[in-house]
Amino acid sequence: MAPSLPRTVRAVNTTQLLDLAQEASVHGFSQRLAVEWLREHLSPEATHYLFPTLVQRLTHRPEVPLQWRCQQLLTVSTGEQIWGLLDVLPDAFDKIPETLDTASKKDIVSRIEQAVTVRAWVERMAADSGS
């Protein structure tokens, strides 16, 4: 039986997020950003947030472990917060300490819902650098 999806938000620093992205890459998870891209664009001192929203089981790839698809709120080097997805192993998510109060979690979920996507941010940055 699959572990139940937690209805919580967890805060991680940039190093922790890079580790989770590396783990997702090793497992071949579908939803992840390249570790190199994250290293280049994330604010190194920032706090980022993960909000599990879906239990992901790849029935066509039984060798891939079950994962939780998390919405992530990332702080990039421009100081903006952008929205992306990251598939995380349940055990890895459970090891992240619970540090946020209920009001903070609600605020973060609201910010996730309003944030520009990684793709839109990248396209805007490319357009800005080309003008």
Q: pLDDT tens string for the chain (131 positions)? A: 556 899 999 999 999 999 999 999 998 888 899 999 999 999 999 999 999 999 987 777 777 788 999 999 999 999 999 999 999 999 999 999 999 999 999 999 999 999 999 999 999 999 888 76
Those residues whose C-beta lies under 8 Å from the C-beta of residue 62, and which sit 6 or more positions away, are none
- Give the C-alpha distances (Å, rounded to integers) separating 74 from 1, 22, 65, 87, 115: 31, 16, 25, 14, 9
Query: Structure pTM?
Result: 0.91
